[in-house]
Amino acid sequence: MVSEAISKKEIERVKFESKDLHKPDEYWREHLTEEAFYVCRQQGTEPPYSGKLLHNKDTGLYHCTCCQTALFSSENKYDSGCGWPSFDAPINEQAVRFLDDFSHGMVRTEIQCAACDSHLGHVFEDGPKTTGLRFCVNSVSLIFNKK
């Protein structure tokens, strides 16, 4: 429904604000679940098809679990069939940081929350025609706020 859609103006109002969110591991261990700490702070991966946000179809914004910065919109979410929530773009260019990832014998591009360096997942160049990108994100690294 049009009334449930997130307006472009609303998305544009969600700006990345530079804050000192770079905390030591001890802080994150106290404030995150064991699984969230493993994924977000130790670059782990939740098992495919296990995340609570994989099949979420509600309208709203997806925020970083660690710092609550808005990262993705439901308008950019799609079913890629990969087993993790997928988006064709972040909410704005400043929301995520891209890093080369050579772990596990692969060459990939890691995505992190630009505000707090939380590991989100990876981006691949096999996405829909809109952007050609698939932001493959761990559910545990996101908090969903329904509109």
Domains and CATH numbers, the chain: 22-146 (2.170.150.20)
Asked if residue 73 lies in contact with residue 86, where contact means CB atoms within 8 angstroms, the answer is: no
Who's near 101: CB < 8 A, 6+ residues apart?
43, 107, 108, 109, 110, 122
Is 113 annotated for ligand binding? yes
Please give the positions annotated as active site: 136
Can you give the pLDDT at residue 20? 57
The answer, yes or no, to whether residue 16 has pLDDT greater than 60, is no
The answer, yes or no, to whether residue 71 has pLDDT greater than 60, is yes
Is 66 annotated for ligand binding? no
Look at the block and give the residue holding tokens 């940081």: 97
Can you give the pLDDT at residue 19? 53
Is 82 annotated for ligand binding? no
Is 40 annotated for ligand binding? no
Burial 96-119, CB ≥16 within 10 A → b, else e: beeeeeeeeeeebebbbbbbbbbb
pLDDT in tens, 105-143: 888 899 999 999 999 999 999 999 999 999 999 999 999
Can you give the pLDDT at residue 4? 45
